[in-house]
Structure 1
């Protein structure tokens, strides 16, 4: 437990069609989603304007997809199935400073692909420091479909690396749900897991219509008395990370934390980051929760890139941290 630490968190807000400030260190590997749609290549176009950009770029696709994305081909992007992309992460060479460097654009990646890529990052970070940048381009609001199935076909940890760990399996579940506008999915998952307490993270952003739709689609869950409500700003991921980390740290001694990040995928990435640090935390995935086609939507003018270092901590530091945890301090 406590084998990895997240340090040096910063963020760069991007407004409009150009980078107003440098994103800092250009990573050796950039990962985006394959497929069509202007939102998929939008941040990559901006990064390529940086004079020092010479990164390897991989577009992650499903095994059945074909390399037919003309915009990505023009940007000299390799298209790889997720297992091959994960292998590229696990074997990424380190720079002169001993750190590997990766930027992953979560905007349009499938959640299962994000989970697999973060598993590979976890493996890489256990061998040495990883300078990780998480990018997210907000989409323009698109209303969800009128006829949206609320059936949950599968609900489970995103993969084995984020299934959570506990020495006390009889402890109650505490559920952390980041809300989206997937109709019926959040309340269905909450009813399935029967948690002791439920915490709801509600997204706010410049796309104000999205928040109103989130409130409509989750009205019943928001009105339940036992739920506890927190807001987070989609374009302020550093603050959202610290809020989530503090919450999970506080609950892990009395409950088994399960994170269900619906809605903007940046929070899905933040949940995986928290689970890298707190191995008791599980990140779960609900199959079919994102079928609205918003990933094919138009990019908004608003984006953010969060930077951090993921690195192993020494055995002595891990022992000290565990002792502090067992004493009741967090």
Structure 2
């Protein structure tokens, strides 16, 4: 995959954009439908990836909301293009605008959506709803069942002889971070630790990742309330590193890191890949409630290129 042109900015808190389509998931967290409800009539069409294998916690409430809103349920990871989205008569196809709620997405769905939306050359507002702190939260910890490239962002480098450098986003899953390092065997590792929305999260992340933090000589913090700054940090680091190495992102922790990693991977093309390490279906379902207004990152993909929308 060749790199795509992107323009990235932050969505202002008072933005009132109307969206041609919304992409989200129907999961067991209460925040799975929170953004769709927040946007309400500002969305014309809803496409929802349904995690119907785990009908627990808030799943039934989320499903009922999306059904009432007229959502189309589908397996987004099977898409090869953005689905057909009806437009009012006379509207310019090039003006297409999408909203994506990444809050409850697993990293395969998120990565795949970013990859196909990049080919659509549209304006996309990605939203993340921070969750309330829970002292018993385990994240994706557990038996490792997924340890491979994320869908759509495999990289497929043409220079496999170059050394590999990993960039890891930390979360509550310290053992998964270690597993990634052991599997990839990178020549160097850079770690990024989330900070800012609740200091209790910061302490838990540091404790659960003490081994990885001690192993790496490159430790940086990023503010969850500043996704644009995070994207710029990762983009700059990638631009420098890819001159002499293959770059692999391992996005654990908050989904904002996974989003920024995916955008950077799309921009830099085959020299960069995103790796998914997870307990997959074996993870224990945990309720997550929104704690603040959603944070938004606006991405304009492929300015000036042909739109890759499926109009059939």
TM band (smaller chain): 0.7 to 0.9
CA contact (8 A) 1:90 1:121 kept: no
Instruction: Report SS of the residue matched to 1:188.
Output: helix
Q: Which residue of 2 aligns with 1:232?
A: 222
Q: Secondary structure at the match of 1:301?
A: coil
Q: In the alignment, does 2:233 pair up with 1:243?
A: yes
Q: Tell me the CA shift for residue 307 of structure 1.
A: 1.0
Partner residue of 2:291 out of 286, 294, 300 = 300
Alignment partners' CA distance in 2, 1:301 and 1:149? 25
Residues 22 and 43 in structure 2, CA contact (< 8 A), matched pair in contact too? no
Residue of structure 2 equivalent to 1:18? none
2:38 aligned with 1:76, yes or no?
A: no
Q: What's the counterpart of residue 319 of structure 1?
A: none
CA contact (8 A) 2:8 2:297 kept: no
Q: Which residue, 117, 128, 135 being the options, matches 1:136?
A: 128
- Relative to structure 1, is the Cα distance of residues 141 and 277 closer, same or farther in structure 2, using a 3 angstrom cutoff? same
Whether the aligned pair in 2 keeps the contact of 1:174 and 1:196 (CA below 8 Å) is yes
Q: State the partner residue of 2:106.
A: 110
SS of the equivalent of 2:105 reads coil
**Structure 1 length as normaliser, TM-score?**
0.80
Name the counterpart of 1:9.
9
SS at match of 2:266: helix
C-alpha contact 1:11 1:236 (8 A) present in aligned 2: no
CA distance 1:150–1:244, change in 2 (3 Å): same
Residue 125 of structure 2 aligns to a residue in which SS? Answer: strand
Match of 1:208 among 192, 196, 199: 199
Structure 1 residue runs of 5 or longer lacking an equivalent are 14-20, 315-330
User: Does the CA-based 8 Å contact 2:21-2:43 persist in structure 1?
Assistant: no
Q: Distance in 1 between matches of 2:33 and 2:298?
A: 20
Match of 2:188 among 187, 197, 206: 197
Which has the larger displacement, 281-290 or 107-116? 281-290
Deviation at residue 252 of structure 1 after TM alignment: 0.4
Unaligned runs of 5+ in 2: 306-312
Do structure 1's residue 275 and structure 2's residue 265 form an aligned pair? yes
Distance 2:122 2:246 in 1: 28
Residues in 1 aligned to 2:296 and 2:170: alpha-carbon distance in whole angstroms: 21
Tell me the TM-score normalised to structure 2 length: 0.84
d(CA) in 1 for partners of 2:160, 2:75: 36
Q: 1:11 Cα shift?
A: 2.6
> Residues 277 and 218 from structure 1, CA distance in 2 versus in 1: closer, same or farther, beyond 3 angstroms?
same
- CA offset digits 1:138-163 (Å, max 9, x no partner): 0001234679865433311112x311
| CA drift at 1:119 | 2.7
Between the aligned partners of 2:266 and 2:123, the Cα distance in structure 1 is 14
Residue 205 of structure 1 deviates from its aligned partner by: 2.7
Whether contact under 8 Å (1:3, 1:312) holds in the other structure is: no
- 1:116 deviates by 2.2
CA distance in 2: counterparts of 1:170 and 1:11, whole angstroms: 40
C-alpha RMSD of the superposition: 2.7
Contact 1:150 1:183 in 2 (8 A): no
Instruction: Measure the CA separation in 1 of the matches of 2:139 and 2:279.
Output: 14
Residue matched to 2:172: 181
CA distance in 1, matches of 2:279, 2:138: 16
Match for residue 45 of structure 2? Answer: 56
